[in-house]
Amino acid sequence: MKPFKLIDTTNGGSVKNDILSGLTVALALVPEAVAFAFVAGVSPVVGLYGAFMMGLITSIFGGRPGMISGATGAMAVVMVHLVSEGNAIGGNDTAGLQFLFVTLILAGLIQVAAGVLRLGKFVRMIPHSVMMGFVNGLAIVIFLSQLGMFKSQGEWLSGASLFTMIGLVGLTMGIMVGLPYLTKKVPAALTAIVVVSVLVIFGGLETETVRSFVVANGGTGIQAGFPSFNVPFVEVSYANLLFILPYACILAAIGLIESLMTLNLIDELTDSHGSGNRECAAQGLGNIVNGFFGGMGGCAMIGQSIINIKSGGRGRLSGITAALALLGFILFGANYIEQVPIAALVGVMFMVVIGTFAWSTFRIWNKVPKADIIVIVLVTGLTVLFDLAIAVLAGVVVSSLVFAWENAKRIRARKRTDEHGVKHYEIYGPLFFGSIELFNSKFDVQDDPDEVIIDFKESRIVDQSAIECVNKLTERYLKNGKNIHLRHLSSDCVKLIKKAEKICDVNVLEDPDYFVAIDNFRRAQQKLV
């Protein structure tokens, strides 16, 4: 396990950068936590607690310093159904919240188990085309979620209110784009938020603020105390378990996939390497704590993580600062944070959208295989229409099928007959379930001589289907009174065949030169003689 480092001084990391970027992230976390809480059908305080606890725990124990976790939309859209159905099952408006907390504990245990079992490494099997589709879809989802900020009491803004909102959003984005050309000593996002807030407060501009947004969505403010420990109560029954378990698995899967893919993205941005297994365990611990302390849980947040990295946050201190600052806002600074204009936060998120979207998609459109383009479009669309887990799973499945199909067509056999009249088949390419039919078509059992050698020097027997294929091919030669020899099998192929002897009835013997599959037919003939 890598040693704990509170501050990362590599790639421009410093105490000042971590603290300032953490404060910037904390400001952006407040409205998102509130918004996602409403999406999930819970109190804004539950969302804020969730963002605080997830952010603090994953920053301390996680596998990716500089990555930010909190309440997320990907998990909120699942939670809303859980809370609604939970209320119906319990017969009151608080039962759904109890079901949510129990589900978070179970989901957290699943995530911790994934970390302990070292399953985080499987994120490496996600193709780059799926990653591109994921970030594109996520950018679109973030963009669409911000459009709701251009509404007031369910109606789209118009007239002066609309122009003020657009102007402030544009000013925020302009500061974030232009300030780095003047100085990089202060985070552009934080500067933009402060400037726009001062302009609105002292300029007398009428526009939506964090407080008015909370009130408009049914809240009374964001003041609250410290989270308190409480064991959630749900009646223990088989029916309740069947209700909770699927939601727990879905939330655990979404949380891990989004967190691990965000980890990979931050790795690329910082040219460093995080620990996926450690992150899995930390995400699980965060959700377990949320279940016991009344938070809505969550996972890694790609938008806030990019804000943190772009603002100079590199070490664990940046995430810890963001979490503690968020708690400070909840406890002491609610009156001030509530005055921040929504337009400033929307502008920051729009810049995140621009930074998140893989614009290189358009440059490679005619330069990569069509299958990759289809996967990118598919994952992007499914991320927007459904959720991350479905999108990534579909992308991996399609990519795997394309890979299997392409490799199935690459099986080749070079044929020759030596001076002793022995027929040689030199196989090229992997032999697996997809290439069996083409492999079988290479052999002419009826017209081959009595001795046949199949050379796997440039091939590999991959799976059980391939073993069964070799067994059946052997039987075909045996029925025609011919011997078949398997030469240059790799050690793992030999292990596969040995394990399958009882199933496939293939007998493999070692000799100095090659491994031989000897036919029972010839043995029977020798006994008769």
Same domain, 197 and 277: yes
Same domain, 383 and 421: no
Same domain, 437 and 395: no
437: domain CATH number is 3.30.750.24
Same domain, 395 and 512: no
**Which of 367, 399, 431 is the endpoint of a domain?**
399
The candidate with the shortest Cα–Cα distance to 167, out of 191, 146, 189, 150, is: 150
Q: Can you give the pLDDT at residue 513?
A: 43
Same domain, 377 and 458: no
The candidate with the shortest Cα–Cα distance to 298, out of 30, 11, 33, is: 33
The answer to whether 341 and 197 have CB atoms below 8 angstroms apart is yes
Same domain, 465 and 370: no
The candidate with the shortest Cα–Cα distance to 358, out of 346, 376, 340, 338, is: 376
Q: Can you give the pLDDT at residue 518?
A: 41
Tokens of 256: 């891990």
Same domain, 36 and 185: yes
Report how far Cα 462 is from the mean position of its chain's Cα atoms: 28
The answer to whether 78 and 328 have CB atoms below 8 angstroms apart is no
Question: What's the predicted TM-score (pTM) here?
Answer: 0.71
Residue type, 13: G
The 3-class secondary structure across 254-294, one letter per residue, is: HHHHHHHHHHHHHHHHHCCCCCHHHHHHHHHHHHHHHHHHC
- On whether residue 208 sits in a domain, the answer given is yes
- On whether residue 96 sits in a domain, the answer given is yes
- On whether residue 405 sits in a domain, the answer given is no
**CA-CA distances (angstroms) from residue 220 to 44, 211, 217, 226, 472?**
9, 8, 9, 18, 74
Q: Residue ranges of the chain with pLDDT lower than 50? A: 499, 502-529
**Which of 351, 368, 399 is the endpoint of a domain?**
399
Tens of pLDDT, residues 24-43: 888 878 877 877 787 787 87
Identify any residues that bridge with 19 across adjacent strands, giving them in sequence order.
Answer: none
Tokens of 268: 């690329």
Can you tell me the distance from the alpha carbon of 6 to that of 22, in angstroms, rounded to the nearest whole number? 13
Q: How many Cβ atoms sit within 10 Å of the Cβ of residue 26?
A: 27
Query: Number of structural domains, the chain?
Result: 2
Same domain, 272 and 200: yes
Same domain, 463 and 388: no
- On whether residue 238 sits in a domain, the answer given is no
Three-class SS state of 156: strand
- On whether residue 239 sits in a domain, the answer given is no
Identify any residues that bridge with 415 across adjacent strands, giving them in sequence order.
Answer: 425
Can you tell me the distance from the alpha carbon of 93 to that of 70, in angstroms, rounded to the nearest whole number? 25
**CA-CA distances (angstroms) from residue 511 to 193, 341, 485, 488, 516?**
76, 80, 11, 11, 8
The candidate with the shortest Cα–Cα distance to 431, out of 413, 414, 452, is: 413
**Which of 374, 399, 424 is the endpoint of a domain?**
399
The answer to whether 187 and 21 have CB atoms below 8 angstroms apart is yes
Same domain, 170 and 62: yes
Three-class SS state of 326: helix
Tens of pLDDT, residues 233-260: 888 888 899 999 989 998 998 899 889 8
Residue 508 belongs to domain spanning? 412-528
Same domain, 336 and 449: no
- On whether residue 365 sits in a domain, the answer given is yes
The answer to whether 425 and 415 have CB atoms below 8 angstroms apart is yes
Q: Can you give the pLDDT at residue 222?
A: 67
Same domain, 79 and 175: yes
- On whether residue 5 sits in a domain, the answer given is no
- On whether residue 290 sits in a domain, the answer given is yes
∠ CA 62-65-67, nearest 5°, is 85
